[in-house]
Structure 1
Amino acid sequence: MLALFLIRTADNRSMIMNNGGDPYLPDLQKYGNWKYVVKAFDYRATINNSFSNATIKSKRRIVLIGDSFAQDFYNMIIEGRHLLKYEICVFYVSARCQIYIGPEDRLNLIEARHRHTCTNAYDIKYALPLVRQANIIILAGFWQEWSARRLPSTLKLLNLTKQQQVFVIGAKNFGKVNPALYMNKSMEYRLKQYQNSPAEALKINQLLEETIDKSIFVNIQKMVCTGRNVTCSLFTRDGKLISHDGLHLTKFGALHIGNIIFKNKPLNRL
């Protein structure tokens, strides 16, 4: 939908830029799309995605595991220049397959239409060599109820040492976002745009809060959706769109949300 919107409005680019120099459309074209979300994470995954010998003694190794929300989290790190003292490796687990370790056959827990995709692939067990070498393990995902309920078991079966730390990044959802609605709108108008999060997203985060230690859980939704009646702002204070689809972050959204979560518990310990 966004791609179609950009194609239809590309001819109006010069008019928009001349209208007060509004960079809204160029920003979306560069940083408000799926290509931006995956680019940095995928690049890291393809270039020697292993820890160097230089960080063995420093104990500053992080492995980030998860789906497109892990890609968002990696963008938060990059845009805000966080965790600069750490070496970071990444491992992708599709949201269709979920992060899970346990006695049950995960294929029986995954939707039938996605089982073929997840067979012998997108499994956290393939990330265990990186987990063993890392000092900090970060799990980020679009959690489903079945994987969220089993997360305590998954964490236990990672068999982490007392010296290792783990953090779980909760899901985020700003509701449906249609970027076309904010074309040619004033800064004042954009800053007034707030939305409720879907009930399912709030339910999953509540479940995570109840089932895992709060000292390791990063509830992004609660940290950033602080508007009236717990609504979520769609724009940063300088009028930049936070999410182009309600789930994933633009470059400006990654910077904005990253600055919030890294200043608050528990990530402020890093």
Structure 2
Amino acid sequence: MFRKVTGLLVGVVLWSMSAVIAADSSLKQNLLTAADTKASGEYAFSQCRALTGQVFDAASQKKKALIVGDSYACDFLNSVQENGYLGDYQLALRFIPYDCQTVAGDDAPKHIAAKDRSFCATPERADSLERAKAQMQEADLVIFAFRWKPDIAAALPQTLRTLAFSPKQRVVVVGNKFFGQISVRKYLKMPANDLKALENEVDPEEAKTINAVLAKGLGKEVLFVDPHSLLCGDDTSCPLFTDDVNLISYDGRHLTKEGARYVGRVLFQRSALGKM
């Protein structure tokens, strides 16, 4: 009997060790996959490219939602699609590269660097607020999601007035997010419990400060969603992993597939986005 019990205990211990090793191996593989900037970059932009320039179907009974922005708009789109949000809407996207980010109105060219003006003025290469304005007027819901530059954030209230949305339209502004420097080699050496609790100190100028400018300037008729506040709290440090130990961002700014799923749930469940 003693030998049988001992053998059983040894078997349980070996099985437990095998399970731990397998889980650790799976965690590391998931981490390496998520941190592959080429693969994750392709994921980040694939759906964005598919919806860029999409026109609304006038015969559809669905409401119309237009996402306007740069690579952060792609992240937002992925966060929506990974969770099945905004299912009552037709979705379209107008992609305005970060270097082409500007205000609406006559001052627009002044906010674009001289070296980028030719690129930004070419419709085949970059969209613009002016070219997107007609589709904005069609939409029931317009969502702006950029990696906001300080001067553009400060001028956004005037930009929105210039775009002249009707009272029936819903306008959402999604602020900046930033997760700091990503160090995969470091994470591979850490146990899962430590990764769950791991946070990066981040430069407040990247998100916290700019989001404060946005929040102060936008009126009650615009829904402002602050990713930094929702994901990181009132601190200047942000989590790097989801509760089930998946890397949120592969480069500090853009989201992995699991990161998009996680961030989408946070943004929609903890803000009025969930009521759209």
TM-score range, shorter chain: 0.7 to 0.9
Aligned length: 249
Distance 1:162 1:80 in 2: 29
1:159 aligns to 2:164 (yes or no): yes
Map of 1:54-133 to 2, 5 A cutoff?
54-55=59-60, 58=62, 60-104=63-107, 106-120=108-122, 121-133=126-138
State how far apart, in whole Å, the 1-side matches of 2:37 and 2:148 are. 28
Q: Is the 8 A contact 1:31 1:250 kept in 2?
A: no
1:31, distance to aligned residue in structure 2 (A): 8.9
Q: CA deviation at 1:92?
A: 0.3
Q: Which amino acid aligns with 1:141?
A: F
User: Who is 1:52 aligned against?
Assistant: 57
Q: Could you tell me which residue of structure 2 aligns to residue 191 of structure 1? A: 196
**Uncovered stretches (5+) of structure 2, i.e. residues with no partner:** 1-20
In the superposition, the TM-score normalised over structure 2's length comes to 0.83
The match for 2:47 is 40
Hey, which of these two has a bigger chunk of helix by percent?
2
Partner of 1:238: 244
**Counterpart amino acid of residue 267 in structure 2:** I
2:228 to 207, 221, 225: 221
RMSD: 2.2
Instruction: Say if 1:18 and 1:223 are closer, same or farther in 2 by CA, change over 3 A.
Output: closer
Cα distance in structure 1, aligned partners of 2:22 and 2:37: 15
Could you tell me which amino acid in structure 1 is paired with residue 51 of structure 2? R
> How big is the shift at 1:18?
8.8
Q: Percent identity?
A: 28
* Compared CA separation, residues 99 and 66, structure 1 to 2 (3 A): farther
Q: CA deviation at 1:204?
A: 0.8
Query: Aligned partners of 2:259 and 2:34: how far apart in 1?
Result: 12
Q: Kindly provide the CA deviation profile for residues 186-235 of structure 1, in whole angstroms up to 9, marking residues without a partner as x.
A: 211211210122121221111111111255111011000038x4521100
Alignment partner of 1:24 out of 31, 39, 42: 31
Question: What's 1:143 paired with?
Answer: 148
2:5 aligns with: none
Amino acid at match of 1:34: G
Write the distance in 1 (CA, Å) between the matches of 2:58 and 2:203.
Answer: 45
Cα distance in structure 2, aligned partners of 1:266 and 1:96? 30
Moved more, 21-30 or 178-187: 21-30
Name the SS for the 1:26 alignment partner: helix
* Alpha carbons 1:178, 1:244 under 8 Å: kept: no
Instruction: Please report how far the alpha carbon of residue 183 of structure 1 lies from its aligned counterpart in structure 2 after TM superposition.
Output: 2.0
2:204 partner amino acid:
A
For the Cα contact (< 8 Å) 2:68–2:143, is it kept in 1?
yes
Give secondary structure in 2 for the equivalent of 1:37. Answer: helix
Q: Is the 8 A contact 2:153 2:210 kept in 1?
A: yes
Cα drift, residue 127 of structure 1? 0.9
2:274 alignment partner in structure 1: 268
Conservation of the 8 A alpha-carbon contact between 1:176 and 1:246: yes
- Of 201, 205, 208, the residue aligned with 1:200 is 205
